Amino acid sequence: MVKSAWDYSTTDRCRDESKRSADGLLNDDQKLVYETALALFDRTVEGGRKQVLIVRGGPGTGKTVVAINLLVELTRRGMLAQFVSRNAAPRAV
């Protein structure tokens, strides 16, 4: 299957981001949000109700870093994951 240049580039960068985060580059606040999101996901998979987690923070606080790491982890688990943002910056990742 041939992927578009955008898909290939995004996939590679997400993989790279995941590798960096696996090395402990998420700060404590980011780890808390990441672990909370995965816990909510796990509860939903186990038959719980769907839930929404809203992550707020100023520019540069790592919201997109957490989102990319969640995309990578959920994709690794075989789930279809999407990232939606009003900001164009994540599209340039």
CA–CA distance, 87 with 40 (Å, rounded to integer): 25
CA–CA distance, 38 with 69 (Å, rounded to integer): 11
Q: What is the mean pLDDT of residues 69-76?
A: 91
Structure confidence by residue, pLDDT tens digits, 20-54: 554 467 899 999 999 999 999 999 988 878 888 89
DSSP 59: T
Is residue 45 classed as helix, strand or coil in its secondary structure?
helix
pTM comes to 0.67
